[in-house]
Structures are given as structure tokens and as C-alpha cells.
Structure 1
């Protein structure tokens, strides 16, 4: 199972910091994973913003990047503050 991590406002929208998920057939890259999670986890488009970065196994990557069930995938929204 893949470990999916949600940071910042994404964890608030999801209601948890992380989840374990078996990737369905057809989910082979970060772009497909982003779409699947957005549609099935109630993010209502939040994961689709181009400002949300993705890290696979602690490395920031660009969509589409290959993913597998053994990976850790983190979704990182922009950081705010002042």
C-alpha cells in the first residue's frame, strides 16, 4: 500500500494527516493519483491546483511522475504566513 501524506490545508480538508491506500489499476503516475484522490476523497479540486507540489519518497517531482504501491507520496500546498 502507498502511504499518502497531506500537509497544510489539505490535511484539514481530508480530516487526517495521512492514509494508506492500495493504488487501483490505471493509477501509475502522480497526475492520475492526484485526480483519483481529488475525486474520491472529497478535496473538491484542491489537489488539482498547480500550486500543490508533489513529493515521491521525499523528493519533489513534476507531474506526471511514476508511482507504485510501495511509495510514499506527499501533497504540499503553498505555505503562507508572515
Structure 2
């Protein structure tokens, strides 16, 4: 399963990159992806925070949503403005 992953704002800083492509991934859901990423890189544990939004193909999605080959996944922390 190939996935394009994007990190925004503070998550981009924590991960040290704005995006990555995974060519082989044994993750079937957003939650499984987060768990897998956290095992690969301790900085990815920030993705598990409940306030971090999972966006699949430009739509906010529950972490239980199944992932498909070619999906674009984005992780967005909460935003505030003023």
C-alpha cells in the first residue's frame, strides 16, 4: 500500500519534514498508521493526540477509516487565530 503523508504546523516541526511517501505499509486504518509511524519515529507519537485531525484525501476522517492504496493523508494540529 502506497500512501502520501503530509504534516502541518507544529507536527511538521516535530517530524522534521512536511511530507513523506510510504511505499509499503501494513496499516489498514488511520489509527494503525499512527501506531506504525510512532514505532518508526518517537516524534510521531504527537500524531496520537486526540486534537490532531486526520484528513484523508482532503476530508476530515475518523481514525477508524480504512486506508486505500494511493491515499493522501494529512495530520493537522488544532489551529487558533486572532
Does TM-score exceed 0.5, indicating one fold? yes
Distance of aligned partners of 1:47 and 1:81 in 2 relative to their CA distance in 1, 3 Å threshold: same
Q: How many correspondences in the alignment?
A: 81
Q: Displaced runs of 4+ in structure 1, greater than 3 A?
A: none
Query: Following the alignment from structure 1 to structure 2, what is the Cα–Cα distance between the partners of residues 23 and 33?
Result: 11
Flag structure 2 segments of 5+ consecutive residues without an equivalent.
Answer: none
Matched, 1:21 2:30: no
TM-score (norm 2): 0.88
Cα RMSD for the two superposed structures: 1.4
Flag structure 1 segments of 5+ consecutive residues without an equivalent.
Answer: none
**Deviation of 1:69 (Å):** 2.8
Residue matched to 2:8: 7
**Deviation of 1:35 (Å):** 1.1
Q: Is the 8 A contact 1:2 1:21 kept in 2?
A: yes
Q: Is the 8 A contact 1:14 1:42 kept in 2?
A: no
Q: Is the 8 A contact 1:5 1:18 kept in 2?
A: yes
TM-score (norm 1): 0.88
**Deviation of 1:24 (Å):** 2.3
Residue matched to 2:36: 36
